[in-house]
A = this chain, B = another copy of it.
Amino acid sequence: MAPSANAPAQADAKANPLDSLIAMVADDLKAVNRTIVEQMQSPVALIPQLAGHLVAAGGKRLRPVLTLATARLCGYEGAGHVLVATCVEFIHTATLLHDDVVDDSKLRRGRESANAIWGNEPSVLVGDFLFSRAFEMLVDHGDLPTMRLLSRACATLSEGEVMQLLTANDIETTRDAYLDVIRGKTAALFAAAARAGGMVAQRPEAELNALSTYGMNLGTAFQVVDDTLDYSAEQAALGKEVGDDFRDGKVTLPAILAIERGSDEERAFWQRCLGDQDIHDGDLEHAMELMRRHNALDDAQAQARAYVEEARQALEVFPDNPMRRILLDVADFSLERAF
């Protein structure tokens, strides 16, 4: 059946569920974008300038979109979710600024990173400003459980990032340690973003837990796929560089699987590249070849699929409706491409 003119969301859903989700919360997202611009103002002009550089670069606003979407899924009809979604985006932006300093990244969202343009110092400080402003906004929102949720998520984020530093260059990193890292650095904020929408709608604990589970598993799948794409040549066609994790000595799931299944000689190769970061021409291609040989990328993708399944199951406590369907589709879609 051809999509009818009055069901554009469903038509889009077949092309790209994430864009459909964004379309379904378009007005709310515009309000979030306005609030972002308002709230990043400061008499110190460099602050909105630097923060605006990152914000203007776009990104899908995936985390605030989750908050907006789950609030609507829960039948919320007010406007309080806009402030909370903006806080979520500020927290995310602050962590991106600090991550780029920590990773010494030169590119972010296809543009020069803030630290590459202005140096590390203002990136650290503007990140701090955005964290602080997020809490100021939460105080205005006035809901203690939401404040507890998001301050906890921030602490978990930094714990995940520190764990990532500690597992870097360590080819003995276990799958469990990897999972702790990505739950902390990525999935915890997805979980909090999803739960926050339900909290604005004042839903019962069982539904809030379902939203946390959805967000946590979606975020975990999202990060596993991201880590897989870092070794998949097709990614080059999408305009991102392949092999960043390899060069940074980050020990991600595809590498862990290849190392587990590799010979002693292969293990020495991984130690030299990821452990000692002594990398030469052709090493990335050899790493990708080892991953193919040991089915590491496919198995990592299968693992991501399992998380997606858990995310989907969590939403069963909600009645069937267009928003739930899109959120289910978005979970599936996380396996198909990076966003």
Interface string of A141-160 (1 = CB under 8 A from B): 01010011001101101110
A43 and B129 contact, CB distance less than 8 A = no
A122 and B165 contact, CB distance less than 8 A = yes
Q: Which of B125, B135, B138 contacts A165 (CB 8 A)?
A: B125
* Interface check A257, CB cutoff 8 A: no
* Distance of A179 from chain B, by nearest CB (Å): 14
Q: Which residues from chain B contact A154 at a C-beta distance below 8 Å?
A: 128, 131-132, 135
Q: Which residues from chain B contact A129 at a C-beta distance below 8 Å?
A: 155, 158-159, 162
* Interface check A163, CB cutoff 8 A: yes
Number of this chain's copies in the assembly equals 2
* Interface check A336, CB cutoff 8 A: no
Q: Which of B44, B98, B133, B147 contacts A162 (CB 8 A)?
A: B44
The interface size of chain A toward B, counting residues with CB under 8 Å, comes to 42
* Interface check A46, CB cutoff 8 A: yes
Interface string of A161-178 (1 = CB under 8 A from B): 111011000000000000
8 contacts between A and B (CB under 8 A): A46-B166, A47-B158, A102-B125, A122-B165, A131-B132, A135-B151, A135-B154, A139-B148
* Interface check A42, CB cutoff 8 A: yes
Q: Which of B44, B136, B165, B166 contacts A151 (CB 8 A)?
A: B136
B131 and A162 contact, CB distance less than 8 A = no
* Interface check A120, CB cutoff 8 A: yes
Q: How far is the CA of A80 from the CA of B201 in the complex (A)?
A: 32
Q: How far is the CA of A135 from the CA of B156 in the complex (A)?
A: 13
* Interface check A265, CB cutoff 8 A: no
* Interface check A74, CB cutoff 8 A: no
* Interface check A124, CB cutoff 8 A: yes
With known contacts A128-B154, A136-B148, A159–B42 Cβ distance under 8 A: yes
With known contacts A135-B151, A136-B151, A136-B152, A162–B102 Cβ distance under 8 A: no
* Interface check A121, CB cutoff 8 A: yes
